[in-house]
Structures are given as structure tokens and as C-alpha cells.
Amino acid sequence: MTLSFGFQSLRFFSSALPWVFALGIVLASSLAASEPINQPITGSAEGATVRYTDWRTAPRHSAELLPDPAMHRDEALVYVLAARAFRWRGHFAVHPWVVFKRAGEESYTRYEVIGWGGGNRVRKNRSVPDGLWFGAPPEILVSHKGPRAHELIPRIEAAIQTYPYAQSYRTYPGPNSNTFVAHIGRSVPALGLDLPPTAIGKDFRDLADPIGLPPSGQGLQLSVWGLFGMILSPVEGIELNLLGLNLGLDLSPLGLRLPLLGVVSAETL
């Protein structure tokens, strides 16, 4: 009886999933159509800017989001930032990176994964800490300072050293820049990372390792090569993945996790 009910539930879930995603994509597309093209990663219209098409002329200057490290010399700082990807990819995905400084240092260290150039794809200090990503303004996803940041930095550095895909890169479905930052989040749950649903590649997992921690490091994830799966977590809430597009429900604060738009809640509308 119980086994029969389980199979019926699974069959219902499988048949309903495409319709749920279709509804989510229609909703996200409708909302996106009413906003500027360069959507911020939170789904808010505030701060949207013009989309650049030539990487050679797209601005990469500081967005002036982070505190001056020289003025905070005695304080340890940790940040995770993300900005919309370049050109058409920015409609769907973001590019994230990690920034930190130890107490006593007067400059930040930035780590990210970049697809071009070959060799080790993990790059250090390639751009300014809070620079625009080819014209797209970044947003702060994670912020820690003081003793908490001091404790996190060596754990973040250890996670960077154990990233398993440093010599490979695939824009879709991964491993990519989102896979890299998700690996750090899984390795350091205390970071409190919550990558948006537009972080395509965050759910990439080897076929031999489909079950484990989600990018936040808290909860449970089932993912088949980053193309199909789901997350149950106190951080990410409930999130479904179909072909790399994520749709779900944030539980605290209550909100929707949508493809194209990211996280949409009462606070971001």
C-alpha cells in the first residue's frame, strides 16, 4: 500500500513538473518584459543599466560597493558578489566571485573562475574587487566582518584549493563560475551562501555523485549533471531544476525563485 502510494506520488510529480516550470517561465518572462533588459540578480528594477555588446568597451570600473580596505585595515572582511553575465547570457545567468581581506591587510583578494585563457580557470585578482562585470553592476550576496570573517578566510582558501574542476570549464551546464562559488559554499556552510536561481551551473554535480549538500552547505540536493534535480534547504528553500533553469519557493523571507529574474519577494518589488 505504502509502496503503491509512493509510485503514484512520483508519477504525479513527474507529470506535473513540466507544467510547473512552464508556469514559472511564463511568469518570469512577463515580469522581465516589464523591466529594463539588464535585470539585477534580485529581480528588483532598481539599479538596472544599459546592456553592453562589445566586451572591449564595456566598463569594468569599481561599483564602490565595498568599504575602503585601507580604512578598515584592522578588520577582516569577506564578501561574495555576483553580476549579470555578459550579453545575451545575462538574461539567464550571473557571474559570481569571492572577495576577502585579513586583518592588517590594506587590499582585497578576489577569486573567481573564468572560461577563457586555458590552464587553471581559477583566477586571482584579475579584476577590481567590486568591479562591473562588463557593464553589469554587481550585488553583494554575502557579507561578513570581524572575528567571523577571520574564521572564514582560511576555510575559504582551503575550499578554493580543493575545487575539483580547476582545469576544465563548460558554460552550460557546468562546471563554470557558479560551480566554483557553489563548491566554496558547500565546503564552508558558515559562509551562509544563497546563490540565486539565475546562477546556472551552481547545481552541477558529477554523474557519480548526484546526492549531497546544496550550494549553501545546508540541506539536501539531488542533481543529475546540473540538468535535473531539486533542493530542500533552510537557506535555498524548495527549488526545482529542469535543464538548468531553477524555480522554487524561498521560505525566509517568503519569496519566489524564478528563472530569468532570480529571487522575487515583497522586499525586492
3-state SS class at 222: strand
Residue 172 contacts residue 227 (beta carbons within 8 Å): no
Q: Per the structure block, which three cell numbers stand in for 131?
A: 568591479
Residue 192 contacts residue 216 (beta carbons within 8 Å): yes
Q: Which of 37-51, 131-145, 197-211, 235-249 bottoms out in mean pLDDT, i.e. has the lowest? A: 37-51
Distances in whole angstroms, Cα of residue 154 to Cα of each of 101, 128, 184: 11, 21, 12
Q: Which of 6-10, 99-103, 145-149, 173-177 bottoms out in mean pLDDT, i.e. has the lowest? A: 6-10
pLDDT bin (cut points 50, 70, 90) of residue 87 is: confident
Which tens digits make up the pLDDT trace of 136-159? Answer: 999 999 999 999 999 999 999 999
pLDDT the model gives residue 41:
54
| Model confidence, pTM | 0.82
Q: How far apart are CA 188 and CA 206, in angstroms?
A: 20
pLDDT the model gives residue 56:
77
Q: How far apart are CA 177 and CA 40, in angstroms?
A: 18
Which tens digits make up the pLDDT trace of 14-67? Answer: 454 454 444 444 444 443 333 333 445 544 333 444 566 777 788 899 999 999
Residue 217: name the closest of 241, 201, 197, 194 by CA. 194
pLDDT, mean over the chain: 85
Distances in whole angstroms, Cα of residue 64 to Cα of each of 69, 129, 131: 12, 9, 8
Helices vs strands, H then E, count in the chain: 3, 12
Q: To the nearest whole percent, how much of the chain has pLDDT over 70?
A: 79
Residue 136 contacts residue 83 (beta carbons within 8 Å): yes
Q: How far apart are CA 239 and CA 241, in angstroms?
A: 7
On the question of pLDDT at 192 being above 90, the answer is yes
